Amino acid sequence: MLSSIKAFFDEKLAKPPSPDKQIASETQLACAALFIEVMKADHELDDREKSELVSLLQSSLHIQEEDIQELTRLAQEGADQATSLYEFTRLINDEYSYSQKLQLVQDMWRIAFSDEQIDMYEEHLIRKVSDLIYVSHTDFIKAKIIARES
């Protein structure tokens, strides 16, 4: 799994990256993996969740449409192989500002709400990620309300 991710980054993110080949950063891949973790948390993959994932990859992470399938595959592999959320949240803590972290939490809530029901495992996962990326409980609740109303 790590070799396929490394090959992906070597091919698409080689230094110096050419603008036409760069499709995602390691942090974007970590965010995509967290989105997939939310989708899997309730043990039911819903088409509405998949659709919301694609929408978020395009709108929030600015991934090109032709690269979404490959990024989703790599994020799925990363999520399947991960032993903890730390692998993803460390990258986010290193790279993201507080407002970007809030947007990530809100996006995770959008995926959870996309099937019109919140499972306790989805909420637990989002709460855990929020804690690991140092988002306050107040902002965690605000992000949930904003996502529910959108």
**Tens-digit pLDDT profile for residues 108-138:** 999 999 988 888 999 999 999 999 999 999 9
Count Cβ atoms below 10 Å from residue 48 Cβ, excluding itself: 12
pLDDT > 50? residue 22: no
Cα separation, 27 vs 113, whole angstroms: 23
pLDDT tens-digit series, residues 50-59: 889 889 888 8
Q: Give the CA radius of gyration of the chain.
A: 15
Long-range contact pairs involving 8-13 (C-beta distance under 8 Å, separation at least 24): 8/70, 8/74, 12/67
pLDDT tens-digit series, residues 69-95: 888 888 888 778 887 889 899 999 999
Nearest 10 degrees: CA dihedral of 16, 93, 103, 82?
Answer: 90
User: Which amino acid is present at 144?
Assistant: K
Cα separation, 105 vs 126, whole angstroms: 7
Rounded to 5°, angle at Cα 19 from 81 and 104: 45
Domain spans of the chain? 2-149
Query: Residue 89's pLDDT is what?
Result: 94
Global pTM value: 0.80
Specify the fold of 2-149: TerB-like (1.10.3680)
In order, the DSSP letters of 76-88 are HHHHHH-SSTHHH
